Amino acid sequence: FPLSNMRRPIAARLVESKTTIPHYQVTVAVRLDALMSLRTQLNDQLATQGVKLSVNDFIVRACALAMHQHPFVNSRWIGTKGQEAIEILDTVNMGVAISLPQDKGGGLVVATIRQADAKGLRMISAETKALADKARTKGLTIDEMGDSTFTISNLGMFGVEHFTAIINPPNAAILAVGGAVKKAIVETKNGQDSIVVGHEMQMTLSSDHRIIDGAMAAQYLASVKAMLEAPATLLV
């Protein structure tokens, strides 16, 4: 099959990323029971307004807010020979990977939620849905796909539990998100262990090792995990 006009630049960009950026991955598991309960409550209350929040909306907001504590994750590598540098970016623009139908050439595009750290869940949800619908029908403009500073790729809706993603240049990192899986979880309370049934989700951060050290990646993921496990913090 000949490459489509969409698949050709995607292929070139992925090869560039994988061959020029030193990738490594760090994975954490997140308990989602509190988030799923809050999401159900909010969606019940907002149903009459046509609002339906997704788990991914919470993830986008958590990732954006965590940038304030971990600015190197929201940066890019300046590769001018002899003048290499790291540029910390002032704005937090979250890229959301959107898969395209085969009749549109397949592949994926990254839609940009600009200044996502300043937007609430309802606005993030509305923008993400509008961009995804447009990407799969009319196609996105260069502006709607440009200037992302971090990317989230979520395959949980396809039953995927864990995967790694290739960094979207010039981003310094990309988060691969699996689905919420019901499983037996060991819980410790007052020094006593018990086994409970809960929902757990795996998140894997692929990072540019020139910019983000292993400890930085782990600390960023810890901040995102803490917000997702105490989701009321994402409402304010």
Q: What is the pLDDT of residues 48-104, one digit of tens each?
A: 999 999 999 999 999 999 999 999 999 999 989 999 999 999 999 999 999 988 776
Distance CA 58, CA 165 (A): 20
Active site residue 70: no
- CB-based contacts of 123, cutoff 8 Å, min separation 6: none
Q: Are strands 192-208 and 75-78 parallel, antiparallel or unpaired?
A: unpaired
Which of 2-6, 37-41, 111-115 is predicted least confidently?
2-6
Rg over CA atoms, the chain: 18
Task: Give residue-wise pLDDT tens across range 186-221.
Answer: 988 899 999 999 999 999 999 999 999 999 999 999
At 181, the pLDDT band (50, 70, 90 cuts) reads: very high
What is the C-alpha to C-alpha distance for residues 92 and 124, in angstroms, rounded to an integer? 13
End-to-end Cα spacing for the chain: 50
pLDDT value of residue 100: 87
Residue 5, pLDDT score: 76
* Catalytic annotation, pick one of 23, 162, 199, 209: 209
> 148: closest CA among 91, 231, 79, 189?
91
Q: How far, in Å, are 53, 116, 185 from residue 227 at the CA level?
A: 16, 15, 20
Tell the residue number behind the tokens 């839609």, with chain if given.
111
Predicted model pTM:
0.94
Share of the chain above pLDDT 70, in %: 99
pLDDT reading at 7 higher than 90: no
| Per-position DSSP letters for 16-65, written without gaps between them | HHHHHS-EEEEEEEEE-HHHHHHHHHHHHHHGGGT----HHHHHHHHHHH
* Mean pLDDT estimate for the chain: 94
Mean pLDDT computed over 163-170: 96
